[in-house]
Amino acid sequence: MEVSTNDLRNGMTLDLSDGIFSVVEFQHVKPGKGGAFVRTKLKNLRTKAVLDRTYRADEKLEQAVIDKREMQLLYRNGNTLVFMDNSTYDQLEVGIEVLGNVSSYLVDGDSIVLVMYKGEVMDVELPTAVELEVAETEPGLQGDRVSGAKKPATLITGLTLQVPLFVNPGDRIKVDTRTGEYLTRV
């Protein structure tokens, strides 16, 4: 489906010759001399690279129709994760390399939204924070409440991050999926 550059909106996806891109921002410019143009900032859904592109006003681009599916992680199978579509119950295997660091925030039974284009997983939408269990860390001591002091902890997904001294193995903590930082103990 073709779309005019005059109709671009933030979040719209485009199928360009060099990949599938999401419109991060756009600006219509009408200079005093010459024709109007549209300045865009586009994010590649595969590589996450951000490009600046300029198009003539009313230039036609191919719009990508993206399918967002809510999926539940069933289990890990080596280097792949097996998901089940929550509406059709179809199963889908996705390689860890496609998901990137997202797999560090997922445990069996978690639901996420997979962004797909023509049957291929392009991106993943995670909640901004997830609750995970601490698998191992040095035990905290009673009264060990030094302000700002941190220690490394490994979570059940294999993710290692810095946590306050009072966090113990077996504790559930909330982790920010955008930064990978500890938020609070649950």
pLDDT tens series, the chain, 186 aa: 889 988 999 989 999 988 899 999 999 999 888 889 999 999 998 888 899 999 998 899 999 988 989 999 999 888 898 999 988 999 999 888 888 788 888 888 888 899 888 888 888 888 889 999 999 988 766 665 666 778 899 999 888 999 888 888 999 999 998 888 999 988
**pLDDT of amino acid 71:** 92
Helix (H, G, I), strand (E, B) or coil at 100: helix
CA dist., res. 149 & res. 151, Å (int):
7
Name the token pair of 17: 């010759």
Class of domain 67-125: mainly beta
Fold of 2-62: SH3 type barrels. (2.30.30)
**Angle 47-94-103 (CA atoms, 0-180°, nearest 5)?**
75
Global pTM reads: 0.73
| Domain covering 129-185 in this structure, CATH number | 2.40.50.140
Indicate the Cα dihedral angle 66, 68, 71, 77, nearest 10°. 20
Domain boundaries, the chain: 2-62, 67-125, 129-185
Residue positions counted in the chain: 186
**pLDDT of amino acid 37:** 92
* The two domains 67-125 and 129-185 share their CATH topology (first three levels equal): yes
| CB within 8 Å of 48: residues ≥ 6 apart | none
**pLDDT of amino acid 15:** 92
